[in-house]
Structure 1
Amino acid sequence: MNTDMIHSNAPSEITPLLRVENLCKSFDLPTGETLKACDSISLTVDKGKSLGIVGESGSGKTTLMKMMMQLIPASSGSIYFKGHAIECRKATQQLDYHHHIQMVFQDSTTAFDPRMKIADILCEPLYNQGLLKGRKAVAVAADYLAMVELPPGIARRYPHELSGGQRQRIAIARALVANPDIIIFDEATSALDVSVQDAVARLLVKLQKEHGYTYIFVAHDIAFVRCICHKVAVMHKGKLVDYLDADELVQSDNPYTRRLIQSVYEI
């Protein structure tokens, strides 16, 4: 992928859109021991900006992402959305919260129902919220397909008829349908060819500039994160070991961050 900086210059607000404060998550193991997957994580996400969360497998980044999405409860600590503490104990609370925070998964093939046409896949969030009925689906789908630079005819096709890059654009379009404040990408480009990654990255930056979307990227690929994000959080063994502007990443003094960078760049 082209590693020239392609950050959006969308303005930020004084109050962070999302703030994580001293977030911890522990799991009880069959051995009787306790695994601390996330240990006192604190970070912020500003409106219209992109945060990258990187680290090797087992670093705790996926657990952090799941807590941000309210898919699993935190053991301790707090999550604030638009300045308000979030704790979704009921299904209705989760539905409301997920209207504001959407997710794009790594494997779009398993994220879609293979029996559904693309129009219905895209409009499913609107159906679930009672915001759309009947024949409007194709027209609405066409609008969002245009946003992700796909032709309207794709609305009548099935997921297996599309390429991996097209399916990932559909996944992005489905996230946009809910008009979210934040979109979280879980290794969403790692399975794509480098040229397709580059095209998707530039699409996301374009959408961010035009609509002010806020992104969180959970990824192994520090080169991709450095290109597309404004800030980077580096995790290692459940701890946040570095948290800095993407432009300053190669100047980091943290040994673990430098090892990650050296695996990609010669510094």
Structure 2
Amino acid sequence: MNDRQSYRVRMTGISKRYNTIQTLDDVSLTLKPGEVLGLVGDNGAGKSTLSKVLSGAVIPDSGSIEIDGKAVAFASPADSRAARVEMVYQDLSLCDSVDVAGNLFLGREPRRKMLGMPFLDKPRMHGQAREMLDRLGIVIADTRLKVENLSGGQRQSIAIGRAASFDPSVLIMDEPTAALAVAEVEAVLDLIRTVSARGVSVILITHRLQDLFLVCDRIQVMYEGRNVAERQIEDTSIEEVVNLIVGRKFSARSAGRGQDNGVQA
């Protein structure tokens, strides 16, 4: 297997401009099978836009994407799903008035025919929902509970579980632990570990830098739409990550300086 084929994802030279704002400028990203990559940066750094390019929600102006060594071009989220790329957005996109099983199978509910007419197969749906939750280690007592009655951590787990149930090879998570209690954060991190242990490649976008050191193999730092740095998690610290996120800003203000004070991409 050559180097190109060893990557689950290879994004090269990705650029995106909105009018006068250069959101992404020649950005690259690689991801190996089963790897958890922490994608970090300040607000407006381009993290979400880059992830939306990979999920098919944003079409880049230039650049290339390869999945398992094969060139792809995504014009919509349906295209990325066909390539087994799933994204869990920060707003979760759950239906509060629908139960757990209904949210897990939203848009692809199992059906059976009676007198030639298709009907929702609720017993089968709830049975498969229970198997799905158990397989991922998600603790929810009853799949008939309405999502509006679940805690924030349980809701996040349902959103991740739904994406994982599509059998993705790549799972992108945008701030999955934001606004969660400590115990709920740990449950979501456990879910990330479970998914990656099954060979799914994960991109984790988060401002909770401590989470990076609990689940990530590697981090990539962005600043104003560009790659700033990349580190193996065992070779860095929270202090360095903070400096990488903000250091470029300060070094750029140094008059006559053409370097980043030791911060290297």
Q: TM-score, normalised by structure 1?
A: 0.79
Equivalent in the alignment of 2:126: 138
Equivalent in the alignment of 1:59: 45
Equivalent in the alignment of 1:112: 94
Q: 1-side partners of 2:164 and 2:176: how far apart? A: 15
> Which is helix-richer, 1 or 2?
1
Equivalent in the alignment of 2:253: none
Q: 2-side partners of 1:93 and 1:155: how far apart? A: 30
Change (3 A) 1:22 1:134: same
Higher relative contact order (CA 8 A, sep 6+): 1
Equivalent in the alignment of 1:216: 203
Q: 1-side partners of 2:77 and 2:222: how far apart? A: 30
**Residue of 2, 5, 13 corresponding to 1:22:** 13
What SS is found at the alignment partner of 1:79? strand
Contact in 1 for aligned 2:41/2:221 (Cα 8 Å): yes
Cα deviation, 1:175-229, whole Å, max 9, x if unaligned, reads: 11101111110001112112321232123213322x2221101122222123211
Q: 5+ residue gaps in structure 1?
A: 1-11, 29-33, 261-267
What SS is found at the alignment partner of 2:15? strand
Equivalent in the alignment of 1:229: 216
Q: 1-side partners of 2:205 and 2:140: how far apart? A: 30
Contact in 2 for aligned 1:250/1:258 (Cα 8 Å): no
| Count, aligned residues | 237
> What amino acid does structure 2 have at the position aligned with 1:121?
N
Same amino acid, percent of matched pairs: 27
Equivalent in the alignment of 2:144: 156
CA RMSD, Structure 1 to Structure 2 (Å):
2.8
What SS is found at the alignment partner of 1:185? strand
Cα deviation, 1:207-258, whole Å, max 9, x if unaligned, reads: 322x222110112222212321111010011111001211112399788417
What SS is found at the alignment partner of 1:93? helix
Q: TM-score, normalised by structure 2?
A: 0.80
What SS is found at the alignment partner of 2:203? strand
> Does residue 184 of structure 1 match 2:175?
no
What SS is found at the alignment partner of 2:142? helix
Change (3 A) 1:75 1:250: same
Q: 2-side partners of 1:258 and 1:194: how far apart? A: 24
Cα deviation, 1:83-137, whole Å, max 9, x if unaligned, reads: 112212367635523xx111222233xx111232211111125449xxx962321
> What amino acid does structure 2 have at the position aligned with 1:26?
R
Q: 2-side partners of 1:92 and 1:259: how far apart? A: 36
Contact in 2 for aligned 1:13/1:47 (Cα 8 Å): no
Contact in 1 for aligned 2:57/2:76 (Cα 8 Å): no
Q: 2-side partners of 1:138 and 1:13: how far apart? A: 41
**Residue of 68, 89, 106 corresponding to 2:54:** 68
Contact in 1 for aligned 2:217/2:232 (Cα 8 Å): yes
Q: 2-side partners of 1:254 and 1:153: how far apart? A: 39
Change (3 A) 1:94 1:150: closer
> Does residue 206 of structure 1 match 2:190?
no
> What amino acid does structure 1 have at the position aligned with 2:90?
Q
Q: 2-side partners of 1:43 and 1:198: how far apart? A: 27
Equivalent in the alignment of 1:47: 33
- Larger mean Cα displacement after TM superposition, 73-82 or 117-126: 117-126
Change (3 A) 1:222 1:179: same
Q: 5+ residue gaps in structure 2?
A: 111-118, 248-265
- Larger mean Cα displacement after TM superposition, 230-239 or 132-141: 132-141
* Higher Rg of the two aligned structures: 2
